[in-house]
Structure 1
Amino acid sequence: MKIHKLLGLIAAALVLPAYAQQESSSAASDAPGTAAAREALKQKEGDTDQTTLLKQTLTAVDKQYSLIKRGKIQATYDLNYTYIGQEKINANFSDGTLTLFNIENDSSHAITNTLSLDYGLRDNLTGSFSLPLVSKYSESPTSSGLSHSLGDIGIGARFQPWEAHRGKPSTTFTANLRLPTGRSPFKVDPNQSLATGSGVATLTGGLNVNHIVDPVALFGSFNVSYSTAAKHLSQRRDGNLVLNRVDPGASIGFGLGFAYALSYGISTSVSIQETISRGTKLHFDNGSVYRTKTQTAGVLSLGLGYRVSPKTTLNFTAGIGLTADSPNFSLGMSMPLSF
């Protein structure tokens, strides 16, 4: 009996180390496979997520929402088409009798190519510069023309005073200066050439707020604009009147909207923007002063973002005018440029 117990103990002593070695070897062989699987499931640097896509969509909807790191440069190409069409009734009464009545159709098509450069002055302060090239075609019963020229150059800055935290709204203050480098509408002959600029310098200050609640981003904006006067003019209007000075009215604007990430590569956005501009004063050489009516421009924008690569997202927008003072229709495309 003692011999059988002794043989059993010897067998156990020989088998257990081998079994333990086999289990250790099996665990060691499984560990790398498990680690590899876990590593494959992790998000890699450069991979996109819905939050990143939503931020890029916000940038495309309105570049005032984005900031870049200090010392970094970012370039963007924008292509925009705008159509404005209107019908005017031309009537003339003489001694209480209608002597002239006709409906005139005016239309204007404008294509704007804009190159924008952003530079990170600080992590929370970004400077911007935009250079637009404008091609415009206009047609009316009395005249038609085609013009290609530089538009109004823009210089701006975006400042984020408070650090952005996940799950909380982000606030950005903006300032933009538009310089009258394009062809002024107060200096060209409307029967011979078309304006490609506003003719006045405009300073705009604003506030933008956005809040990302994955997969939705909510955003809103408010801004105030002031334009300098156009002086020393000599533009003939309505026969004998000569325009000497133009004092544009101040304007306020506000907007709101949302962006929705359908997937890691596709996002959509819907926004509405309204601008209310006070009437402009027109001064003529005979001392007369006229003021235009207050204008209200409202636009509904629909957007689509398509991510073609980890660093490139194409964004397309379609705008529909909601008021008589708005462009009838617009199309736009925005594309980041890599150097």
Structure 2
Amino acid sequence: MKYVTLPVLLATALLVQSTAGAQESTAANSTDKARDALAKKEGEGDQSALLKETLTAVDKQYSLIRKGKYQFTYDLNYSYIGQEKIVTDYTAEGLTLFEIENVSSHVVTNTLSVDYGVLDNLTANVTLPVIGKYAEARGSNNTSFSLGDMVLGARFQPWEARRDTANFTALTNLRLPTGRSPFKIIAGSGEATGSGVAALSVGMNVNRIVDPVALFGSVSLTASAPATGLNQVNGTRVLNRVAPGTQFGFGMGFAYALSYGISTTMSFQGAISQGSKLRFADGLNVKTASQTSAILNFGMGYRMSPKNTVNMSVGIGLTADSPNFSVGLNMPLAF
């Protein structure tokens, strides 16, 4: 039988203890590294905050800014409209003109928006568009580049936003006829870049975050003032007055954050407009047919920084009264 001395026993115990400690240290380091790898980086925020930011980037009408703060946004949009129009004219003898006219329009809109926080739950907004328009019709080309219709707006949140509940935002917009009026354009002198009339819109937006998706929807009603004192030649008649019909708008969609840097959106926007009432110098009164427009939008957002997200979108027209397609870019401006 062999005997083991006390020093050998102590040395063996220390060796075992050291080996166990090293293994525990290695396991702890591996756990820490795994935890760090899975942890959110600084500035990423939680999923709910990310979805709220994604929703805000989709349409800033769903967002409010803090009291005394400013926010500047630049939008660039291109749309194409191609259609066939039936041109007719009536006299005392009946129909004197009937032809099918091919019309195509290319519209580039540059928009600068400024938001100001009046209160924490009230945001004022000014939108200034500059529009470039190129149109082809009857073998002639018309080009215009001028200011569009300026819009003054406000967004109000009547109740405090809460998680896991629907959040409501009331909005109102006043559109001013600062662009070139379509009722004062002389044939061959360019294209209209505005509506020609003032209009007031009121509406409500609602959104709710249902992880991992943010849902949103909106309804609005727009009433326009009549355009009076006109003297526009239209065929063999002179147009004196135009009263646009009331418009009802609606929309819905969702936003989904694929990661902390990329988000996707899909939305539907529609509008139903009553026919306009036209009055001519010879006393003839005509009401145009109602119009229905609908657009399906697909978008993607790229988060450049914790505070700035650039959004790109493509819209597809679903009715004859809608643009064939549109391409848009939205990005914040920092000064």
TM-score by length of 2: 0.85
Cα distance 1:319–1:197, how it changes in 2: closer, same or farther (>3 A)? same
Structure 2: segments with no counterpart, 5+ residues: 1-27, 90-95
Runs of 4 or more off by more than 4 Å in structure 1?
Answer: 34-45, 89-92, 99-103
- Could you tell me whether the CA contact under 8 Å between 2:44 and 2:260 is conserved in 1? no
> Structure 1 counterpart of 2:257, which letter?
A
Q: Percent identity?
A: 61
Highest CA radius of gyration, 1 or 2? 1
Q: Deviations over 1:259-281 (max 9, x none)?
A: 11111111111111110001101
Specify the SS of the correspondent of 1:135: strand
- Alpha-carbon offset, residue 247 of structure 1: 0.5
- Corresponding residue of 1:114: 111
- Could you tell me whether the CA contact under 8 Å between 1:318 and 1:331 is conserved in 2? yes
Cα distance 1:292–1:222, how it changes in 2: closer, same or farther (>3 A)? same
- Could you tell me whether the CA contact under 8 Å between 1:84 and 1:327 is conserved in 2? yes
Q: What are the equivalent positions in structure 2 for 1:313-332 lying under 5 Å apart?
A: 313-332=309-328
- Alpha-carbon offset, residue 208 of structure 1: 0.5
- Alpha-carbon offset, residue 40 of structure 1: 9.2
Q: Deviations over 1:67-90 (max 9, x none)?
A: 111111111100000111002356
Verify: 1:145 aligned to 2:142, yes or no.
yes
Cα distance 1:102–1:308, how it changes in 2: closer, same or farther (>3 A)? same
Find the aligned partners of 1:64 and 1:329 in 2 and give their Cα distance: 23
- Corresponding residue of 1:310: 306
Find the aligned partners of 1:108 and 1:312 in 2 and give their Cα distance: 33
- Alpha-carbon offset, residue 159 of structure 1: 0.5
Find the aligned partners of 2:252 and 2:148 in 1 and give their Cα distance: 27
Q: CA RMSD in A?
A: 3.5
- Could you tell me whether the CA contact under 8 Å between 2:142 and 2:189 is conserved in 1? yes
Find the aligned partners of 2:60 and 2:165 in 1 and give their Cα distance: 20
Structure 1: segments with no counterpart, 5+ residues: 1-30, 93-98
Which deviates the most, 256-265 or 36-45? 36-45
Verify: 1:260 aligned to 2:276, yes or no.
no
Find the aligned partners of 1:193 and 1:38 in 2 and give their Cα distance: 64
- Corresponding residue of 2:180: 183
TM-score by length of 1: 0.84
Q: Deviations over 1:14-63 (max 9, x none)?
A: xxxxxxxxxxxxxxxxx9xx999989976566334443443333234332
> Structure 1 counterpart of 2:204, which letter?
L
Cα distance 1:313–1:49, how it changes in 2: closer, same or farther (>3 A)? farther
Q: Deviations over 1:201-223 (max 9, x none)?
A: 11100011000112101111110
Specify the SS of the correspondent of 1:309: coil
- Corresponding residue of 2:22: none
